[in-house]
């Protein structure tokens, strides 16, 4: 996949080295579509988070940090919810620190069990925008996710999509009546 880049570095071995732009206006549509990503081994957090989101909000689930960061690189304006545990604490910390530089449009929130509460300020300092230790505390995170996704860049629409969006027949006038001919 080709990404827009600043060609600031000199060629090395015949290959131009590049740096990714934070401007997503020229990225492919899939890449610019912001997603809500939940990275956890079980479905404990995603099921609780879905209760705090509108029914129309889709959630992209992954099981590993590697998968999560691959999806974030494809969709750099996404909102990720990542589960912290003892096995991934070091990797998550490194990725949070790196994400502020490499994924400036992304937001990452951390969920963890109550015994990981001592990691909260470390994760926040590394770049997590929210930290939660109970599924009952997910309403503010759901609100943050919604606000983030509403502000994120939208993929360009074709002329036909724009016209249909402006018509919005069902919303303005109810359903279209059946005509007896």
Domain ranges of the chain: 28-152
- The DSSP result for 67-79, as a single string, is HHHHHHHHSTT-E
Average pLDDT score over the chain: 80
Q: Model confidence over 128-139: pLDDT tens digits?
A: 999 999 999 999
- The dihedral built from the CA positions of residue 30, 36, 42 and 48, taken in this order, carries a sign that is negative
pLDDT category at 168 given cuts 50, 70, 90 is low
Phi and psi at residue 60, in whole multiples of 5°? -100, 115
Q: Model confidence over 41-59: pLDDT tens digits?
A: 989 999 999 999 999 899 9
**Helix (H) or strand (E) segment spanning residue 9:** none
Residue 166: other Cβ atoms inside 10 A:
7
Q: Model confidence over 100-159: pLDDT tens digits?
A: 899 999 999 999 999 999 999 999 999 999 999 999 999 999 999 999 999 987 777 788
Q: What is the pTM of this model?
A: 0.70
Which is the CATH superfamily of the domain at 28-152?
Response regulator (3.40.50.2300)
């Amino acid at each position: 996949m080709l990404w827009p880049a600043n060609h600031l570095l000199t060629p090395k071995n015949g290959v131009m080295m590049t740096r990714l732009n934070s401007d997503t206006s020229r990225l492919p549509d899939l890449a610019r579509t912001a997603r809500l990503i939940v990275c956890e081994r079980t479905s404990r957090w995603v099921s609780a988070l879905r209760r705090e989101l509108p029914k129309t909000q889709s959630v992209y689930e992954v099981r590993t940090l590697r998968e999560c960061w691959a999806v974030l690189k494809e969709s750099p304006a996404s909102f990720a919810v990542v589960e912290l545990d003892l096995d991934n604490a070091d990797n998550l910390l490194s990725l949070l620190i790196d994400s502020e530089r490499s994924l400036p449009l992304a937001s990452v929130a951390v969920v963890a069990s109550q015994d990981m509460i001592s990691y909260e300020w470390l994760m926040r300092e590394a770049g997590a925008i929210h930290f939660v230790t109970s599924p009952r505390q997910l309403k503010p995170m759901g609100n943050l996710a919604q606000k983030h996704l509403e502000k994120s860049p939208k993929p360009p629409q074709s002329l036909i999509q724009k016209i249909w969006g402006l018509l919005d027949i069902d919303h303005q006038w109810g359903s279209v009546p059946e005509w007896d001919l």
